[in-house]
Structure 1
Amino acid sequence: MFRTSIPVQIIRHVALLLISFGMAFPFLWMVTSSLKSNDEIRAFPPVLLPEVPLWSNFVETWNAAPFGQYLLNSVFVAGLIVICQIILSSLMAYALTHMHFPFKNVLLGLILTMYMLPVSATYLPSYIILSKLNLIDTYTGLIISNAVSIFSIFLIRQAFMQLPKELVEAGKIDGAGHLRILFTLLFPLARSSFIVLALLSFISNYNNYFWPMLITKSPELNLVSAGLRSFFVEGGGYGMKWPLIMAGSTFTIVPLLVLFVIAQKWIIKGVNNAFSVNKG
């Protein structure tokens, strides 16, 4: 094996540090700006750190808008959507990989074709369906309309394809049914992919803005993105109170940062497993 020379390693690490700093800088700027005064934010040349941190900005922001309710709403809705997507995508992925039925390849092709369909193209028919079911302006409508994800099906299908088919055959020989094979054999072995699915789905639905805004009108149903916009328009004075807006943005992003720090090793492992080329 060839060992990488020390200068190459140094260059590589410096490049990675610069890239990491570039990606983290917007978050750093957001947090430091939430501690500044309006004059410091508008100062030129801009300053990264405030002269005197104004921690009171967080207290004022928290009292100015119900950010606790926004966070609770988003976590509740995103969590239920994640559960629905895990169950439904695992059932569909199992059927596509370990069951035989007519037009199986046609169904798979249709699913992959639908993945290329722009999400915005589904808004109108979805809205009409939810309206006829009287599910507009409800969490039920929001959860049901996001319960199935083409990406989730594809991700779990790829994970199941990496597992030995002999395990499924052995389970059938022992008399296990499809559900038992799925949840006692395949699910534990593909755990990392399910964790990745849960994280990606949670982040996507936690940050979702346009579709929740379209079908939910009541302020008490607002998710964090809609709540932050409402604060920007009303409490934030259309950008006149940028420190408070940055503090509100910090509130909304903290749960995702904590979640990522806790589960980052599972994200890397799951993505590698799910998108590796199937040699079998």
Structure 2
Amino acid sequence: MNKETKIYIAGHKGMAGSAIWRKLSRAGYTNLLGRTSGELDLRDRLSVNRFFEEESPEVVILAAAKVGGIWANNEFPYEFLMHNLQIQNNVIEAAHNYGIKKFIFLGSSCIYPKHSPQPIKEEYLLSGELEPTNQWYSLAKIAGIKACEALRRQYEKDFVCLMPTNLYGPGDNFDLKTSHVLPALIRKFHEAKNRDHAPVKLWGTGSPMREFMHVDDLASAVLFSLQHKLEETIYNVGTGKDLRIDELAGIIQKLTGHHGEIFWDQSKPDGTPRKLLDVEKLKNKGWQAEIALEEGIIQTYEWYRIAVG
């Protein structure tokens, strides 16, 4: 692969996809290809095939997905399962049929069982029950991983699956109904500060442990995977460090300048008790995350403040 290789980034307007686009552009890749969901509905098999036939990409990075937090997964289980299956199936099938040289599939750490041993190794996939609140999304992602694994095994395709931990960063979703925990906390504390430091109500007990990685580190891992031959199907991508949600809330409260009280609504679900990835496999290949959590939150908060005016 060279800097003129035609690379299609599916989902290039999303948080992960846009970070990957920026990273590859800065690394000198000049032939990047993207389509918005309005221009190309990845759930439409015929449209996807027509796109591959007309554009003939050589490398595909699948960063497109329907994503959301606990509330969204609970409220829209059919869409989280079916839409993600449709997107994945169409793009993976087209990549196979049109002879794509290299394919990178982005999954999620939620594919692993709810009560996995910690830290979570890649081989723990399908070793236990999934977290019920996001099982629909998880099942779709597992199907995508297995499709890539089958293509590697049957056709010796260079299809690699990266499993990022909880992502955050510029371009994140800050909608309180559909966002993940870190951007939701940023918005809640920011808005409460602007209401004379009003109290903030947060879901659950604050006790679950979570790992967070800046989206630019994921983009770095994608670039690394493009530039190196990886012999296995699945690689975890994370920082290898986690913290309690109430600790995260304290950090974000401090960085946003909020001085009010925090109340925990224990009637709301906590989700998986702990979810820390074992990142040794990719680290041993030569990649590791670099952006510290507080540094990343400061950057994300600055982006959010500019975005909301």
Shared fold (TM-score greater than 0.5)? no
User: Normalising to structure 2: TM-score of the pair?
Assistant: 0.24
Instruction: Tell which structure's C-alpha radius of gyration is larger.
Output: 1
TM-score w.r.t. structure 1 length?
0.26
- In terms of fraction of residues, the more strand-rich structure is 2
Report the structure, 1 or 2, having the larger helix content. 1
